[in-house]
Amino acid sequence: MPESRRNARQNHLALAMRILALVRERNMSPGDHLPEQSFSEACGVSRTPIRSAFKLLEEKGILSWREEEGFFLELGRDDGLDEAAQELESLEDSLAHRILTDRAARRIDDLQSVSALARRYSTSRTSVLNALKILSRDGIVTQMPGRSWAFQPILDTPNAADESLQFRLQLEPQAILTPGFRLDAQKSGLLRGQMQDALQSAAGSIGNAGFLRLDVEFHMLVAEGSANRFVRGALMAHQRLRKATQKDFSIPDFRLRQSLEEHLDILDALEQMQFDVAADLMTLHLRRSRRRRPEAANRGIPPLMRGPR
């Protein structure tokens, strides 16, 4: 397959995964219509790539197309939608995931060549380059002069996670205070609904993996709102790195719920354009995250600066 066609399919796969995430966020059921314009606006792309992603989902039996009506959902959560999404995800980045897994397990060194990786995984140089581009998009590898690729530090140890929080403490409150900060109201509304649903779930049901997804999406939303392109770029790259490489450290359920409440408090302040308050709340939130282990002894103490919700 020519490189341009391979890259286009890779982009369609990533967009198809985003569409499925929206389908689940909206609690859509089999038979529901997927309006191209609505998904185009939600994903921030034109209708042409949305249509291509819809066709890919049609190939997988997830959507169906009706003449002069458009695309409709064929699968629901009880009909294998989650399994189909996992299959798509494995198509999207199976080799990239294998490389990342080996890197996290320290089975491969910091500096790698395309040829060495192609030999290791018994695949073509083109496939390796495509996987490296996926990892590069998430800030995991960087192309060096010549033919080498360097792996960046990943968040796979408590020390690395602590350094990540220090970095975010310095930048995230400032991202909010940058003149021109603008919150995406549509994304904020969708994320608010997901967090509220999680808070209403039974004790112990959120899980570290589910929380990490919501946490990254929230902090990515804040980063996207910054009017400073350098701050925005640095924070978004770091959140992609968190999503891809941070292990699910064991966090008590009460702290997961406390963090989600803090997210909602920050969203409240941002939506009311109280940016000083939002920045202060973000600082408190990140500091609490740094000392979450000591807080376990004080779980009966109500969070600071929180009114009734």
Residues 62-72, buried b or exposed e (16+ Cβ, 10 A)?
bbbeeeeeebb
The pLDDT of residue 294 is 37
Distance CA 266, CA 275 (A): 9
CATH architecture of 3-79: Orthogonal Bundle (1.10)
Q: CATH 1.10.10.10 in the chain, residues?
A: 3-79, 93-151
- Pick 11 or 31 by higher pLDDT: 31
Q: Which residue has the higher pLDDT, 300 or 264?
A: 264
- For the chain, where do the domains classified as CATH 1.20.120.530 start and end? 158-298
- Identify the pLDDT of residue 306: 42
Q: Is the pLDDT of residue 296 over 80?
A: no
Cβ-count burial of 242 within 10 angstroms (0-12 exposed, 13-18 middle, 19+ buried)?
A: buried
Going by C-beta distance under 8 Å and a sequence separation of 6 or more, which residues neighbour residue 287? Answer: 169
pLDDT at 224: 92
Question: Which of 11-20, 166-175, 192-201 has the highest mean predicted lDDT (pLDDT)?
Answer: 166-175
Assign 305 a pLDDT band (cuts: 50, 70, 90). very low
Please tell me the pTM assigned to this model: 0.59
CATH code of domain 158-298: 1.20.120.530
Residue 229: band (very low, low, confident or very high) from pLDDT cuts 50, 70, 90: confident
Identify the CA nearest to 175 among candidates 286, 265, 41.
286
Average pLDDT of span 45-56: 88
Which CATH architecture fits 93-151? Orthogonal Bundle (1.10)
CA angle (138 as vertex; 135, 144 as ends), nearest 5: 60
Q: Are 203 and 253 in contact (CB under 8 A)?
A: yes
